[in-house]
Structure 1
Amino acid sequence: MKYTLYKDDKFIMQRKHFYPIKMYLIKTLGIKNIYISYTDLMQIAKKNNYKTEVER
């Protein structure tokens, strides 16, 4: 699986595992708790114009 991260439809990164993308989002969005749930993280990311795609 490949996870791709976009911001404002511009390519940011593509990784084989989701964890590096999760850590990138947590650091750039300034979230203090690294144990945030996936759904909460995606809601915050969507509000800040981030989008993820998964290729199988």
Structure 2
Amino acid sequence: QAIEFRKPLHTSAFLQNFVDTFRKEVSFIQEDRLLHNDMKKAEDFLKHIDLSK
């Protein structure tokens, strides 16, 4: 989430694409909540993403 907090600064196109793809699976944390489901989604995302694209 730090990338979001650093706006208007930008990151690389590769990393921004990664974050955009990740955010389709795991939403931005706006307020406190249980993170178990987010962590499981993040784990599944990282296990299955193809970084060679």
Greater strand share, 1 or 2? 1
* Same topology, TM > 0.5: no
TM-score of the aligned structures, taking structure 1 as reference length: 0.26
TM-score computed with the length of structure 2 as normaliser: 0.27
